[in-house]
Structure 1
Amino acid sequence: MPSLKNSKTPAGARTSAPLLLGYGAACLVAWLLFVLAGTEFQRGLWQLWEAVYQATLTLWAPMLLGLAVLPLAHWFARHEPALPVLLFVHLLAALLFSITWLGLDYGAALLLFGAEHADATLEQSFLWRAIWGLLVYAVLATGFVAALNARRAKLLAVTAAQAESALARAELAVISGKLNPHFLFNTLNSIIALTRKDARAAEAALLRFSGMLRYVLATKREATDRVTLQEELDFLRDYLALEALRLGQRLKIEWELDERTLEDEIPPLTLQPLVENSIVHGIAPRMDGGCITISAQRDALTDGLNLCVRDDGEGCDPAQLDAASARPGIGLGALRRRFALDYEGRARLRVHTAPGAGFRVDLWIPQS
């Protein structure tokens, strides 16, 4: 767990400058308030200078001593001592603060006005100055420790956010970099069989296959990148062409594409897992195959991108549908997770199905 004391830059070096600036500003405000409280403007300018003199004489010592409280606050923030030790050190430091304040005041009075005045001032102000010393120390120590703890909490929050972001990127990379191994093996077997029948067709299939692998490897490099819908569709057409080697006329495809959406951006490998699930669960098990419809339309209300993948397969009971596992593979669960990580929950995925009514997945992807 990151902490102020074990980072490469010393905690004091990293946090003292802002704290000292804030402390200086607080001292200035306190001094100005003291001056205003002691000024009677109707009595002339000399009264203002008298207030400035009194404020400076009264506050210079505790303001100077406040700088000595900061290193102690750093020690408390780093070590977090047990309560008895904490109270003892605070009490000792508060007494030392008060005694030092008295000593500085006495020294200033001795230097400016002589021993007799200094002794008289010490005798008159000893009790209340000692009490004020304890109170001022308590305020300073509380403020410094609170500021350091807040800074450490912020540092930990940033570190945790960075770790979560790294985890999200890793998960996205896993999701975006997957192709079903069964598809890979089936495709290679289909191409091998095709080489015996039609060398030209086998060569074209290999070119499509290499293009698909190139696309997948590119998405692995940076999973949070976007691709245009046109690029995803080109990849999808290669995928379907290779599946057609195995399924032949049993696989029918219908496209309903609004040309205005072709330059819209989506995460790579968004449509292929849905189409793959339709093939595996809706088309391949049927002797007469089936049809998959892929559509892309502009959302008139939000200007987002509406995508839809539907098949005319057997479908399933929606009451038993678990979007994360109803259709095994990369599919719906991974796509939901990707949208949650990549779009902060703004993208939407809806499933519509019923026994004998096929399976349909609607996606809405924001474009701004």
Structure 2
Amino acid sequence: MNGGFWARRSVALYLLAWLMLGVLMAALLVAAQGAAVGAALLFALPTMLFYASACGFSAYYLCRAYPLAQRRLGAVLLVFLFSGSTAALLWCAAGSAWAGLCALLLGEARAVAVTRPVAALLFGIGVLLYWMTAVAHYLALEFERARRAETQALEARLLAQDAELRMLRTQIDPHFLFNSLNSISALTGIDAGRARDMTLQLAGFFRQTLGMEAHRRIALREEVALLERFLAIEGVRFGARLRFEQDVGIDAAACLLPPMILQPLVENAVKHGIGQRLDGGRIALRAQRAGSLLRIRVENDVDADDAPQGRGKGIGLENVRQRLAAAYGRESSVHWAREDETFRVDLVLPAEAETKEE
């Protein structure tokens, strides 16, 4: 319905423009021949509307048949030179016929006479108007092509983000699920209650991740809740060796961000940091809103003798960088650094406020 509205409005504006041209043409006839205003309008407006329809359909189909990107410019100019001249000649013939009919209705003394100067004027105006209509059609087609390309690019971007999230899940699921099932198996004979709790936590974690879409945004508090589920499950395996601290401001908690954007960072912290230390360590999450920016820091303890974190293949920092670049472009940044026995990742992205649905 909306498309039909725009189509009707476009046609109305197109015809209105031609009616204004008809009024100008009537003024020229009044000035050139001294014709009565009513007779000039009676001649100019119908002939102009007739030519508007002829130009509109003819130029539209020729513009589609001869796209500028696929045809030589010389061939396109030759086609429109011929078609414009032909249309103008036909318009002159139609104008002469209409002038004769008006002479029968009003009398020759009051009707507009299509003399040679008037015919030449009609021919020149007709060629120019035909070319202008063709140029307008080419501009409209180019605008349509650009809008379609933009829509396709947006769809491709959303599909790529969905594929990224699916890939992220396939990377997380196997070894995380394997380790969790091993822990549940070990707990079954020792502490059935804890095994049951861990099974429920594991089910809740995967249920929550499956409900996420990559092109949507979730509040930081939801992302933190997902991390807490993840670390609670890992905590069964690591016990007191794994400690989690968080300092998330109230304003920051309501900010939106891509789902599971922090998951690779925390998983890397567990795998490459805490998992490599005999006495375990600490993972800290800090988030604050600074004006129009959301600043997030994830840091963890690492073994002083271990290789620099984040160089492995698979889930990692580059994945986070690419997802933020796809979502925010240059408005976001990711930086990481290692200082002694601490590895730190800093994320900066636009602070998009959470909106309440009515």
Aligning the two structures, in what range does the TM-score lie when normalised by the shorter sequence?
Answer: 0.7 to 0.9
What is the match of residue 67 of structure 1? 53
Against the structure 1 CA distance between its residues 328 and 278, is the aligned structure 2 distance closer, same or farther, given a 3 Å change threshold?
A: farther
What is the match of residue 130 of structure 2? 141
Against the structure 1 CA distance between its residues 239 and 18, is the aligned structure 2 distance closer, same or farther, given a 3 Å change threshold?
A: same
What is the match of residue 206 of structure 1? 199
What is the match of residue 156 of structure 2? 167
Q: What is the alpha-carbon root mean square deviation over aligned residues? A: 3.8
Against the structure 1 CA distance between its residues 139 and 291, is the aligned structure 2 distance closer, same or farther, given a 3 Å change threshold?
A: same
Q: Please point out which of 230, 234, 246 is paired with 1:239.
A: 230
Contact 1:257/1:296 (<8 A) preserved: yes
Against the structure 1 CA distance between its residues 89 and 153, is the aligned structure 2 distance closer, same or farther, given a 3 Å change threshold?
A: closer
Alignment deviations for residues 198-244 of structure 1 (CA, whole Å, 9 cap, x no partner)? 2111111111100100111111xx33333333322222112112222
Against the structure 1 CA distance between its residues 203 and 92, is the aligned structure 2 distance closer, same or farther, given a 3 Å change threshold?
A: closer
Specify the SS of the correspondent of 2:211: helix
Against the structure 1 CA distance between its residues 350 and 111, is the aligned structure 2 distance closer, same or farther, given a 3 Å change threshold?
A: closer
Q: What is the TM-score with the length of structure 2 in the denominator?
A: 0.77
Where does 1:93-112 land on structure 2 (aligned, <5 Å)? 94-95=85-86, 97-98=88-89, 100-102=91-93, 104-105=95-96, 108-109=99-100, 112=103
Larger CA deviation: 63-72 vs 15-24: 15-24
What is the match of residue 337 of structure 2? 353
Whole-angstrom CA distance in 2 between matches of 1:96 and 1:270: 61
Against the structure 1 CA distance between its residues 202 and 65, is the aligned structure 2 distance closer, same or farther, given a 3 Å change threshold?
A: same
Q: CA deviation at 1:93?
A: 5.1
Contact 1:254/1:293 (<8 A) preserved: yes
Q: Please point out which of 257, 261, 280 is paired with 2:248.
A: 257
Alignment deviations for residues 325-361 of structure 1 (CA, whole Å, 9 cap, x no partner)? 7453333323233323334543x23313146353212
Specify the SS of the correspondent of 1:352: strand
Larger CA deviation: 166-175 vs 275-284: 166-175
Specify the SS of the correspondent of 2:47: helix
Where does 1:156-305 land on structure 2 (aligned, <5 Å)? 156-177=145-166, 178-179=168-169, 180=172, 181-219=174-212, 222-299=213-290, 301-302=291-292, 304-305=293-294
Whole-angstrom CA distance in 1 between matches of 2:103 and 2:343: 93
Which 5+ residue runs of structure 2 have no aligned equivalent? 354-358
Q: What is the TM-score with the length of structure 1 in the denominator?
A: 0.75
Alignment deviations for residues 281-327 of structure 1 (CA, whole Å, 9 cap, x no partner)? 2222233333211112232x33x4332101232599xxx99xxx745
Against the structure 1 CA distance between its residues 330 and 140, is the aligned structure 2 distance closer, same or farther, given a 3 Å change threshold?
A: farther
What is the match of residue 323 of structure 2? 338
Specify the SS of the correspondent of 1:328: coil
Contact 1:61/1:101 (<8 A) preserved: no
Whole-angstrom CA distance in 2 between matches of 1:266 and 1:116: 77
Contact 2:295/2:348 (<8 A) preserved: yes
Q: CA deviation at 1:62?
A: 4.7
Larger CA deviation: 205-214 vs 286-295: 286-295
What is the match of residue 10 of structure 1? none
Against the structure 1 CA distance between its residues 62 and 230, is the aligned structure 2 distance closer, same or farther, given a 3 Å change threshold?
A: closer
Q: CA deviation at 1:246?
A: 2.9
Q: CA deviation at 1:274?
A: 0.8
Specify the SS of the correspondent of 1:242: helix
Aligned residues between the structures: 334
Whole-angstrom CA distance in 2 between matches of 1:96 and 1:271: 65
Contact 2:183/2:237 (<8 A) preserved: yes
Whole-angstrom CA distance in 2 between matches of 1:212 and 1:334: 21
Which letter maps to 2:263? Q
Q: Is structure 2 residue 75 aligned with structure 1 residue 91?
A: no
Q: CA deviation at 1:110?
A: 7.2
Specify the SS of the correspondent of 1:231: helix
Against the structure 1 CA distance between its residues 85 and 215, is the aligned structure 2 distance closer, same or farther, given a 3 Å change threshold?
A: closer
Which letter maps to 2:297? C
Against the structure 1 CA distance between its residues 79 and 103, is the aligned structure 2 distance closer, same or farther, given a 3 Å change threshold?
A: closer
Which letter maps to 2:99? A
Which letter maps to 1:352? W
Against the structure 1 CA distance between its residues 25 and 315, is the aligned structure 2 distance closer, same or farther, given a 3 Å change threshold?
A: farther
Which 5+ residue runs of structure 1 have no aligned equivalent? 1-12, 41-46
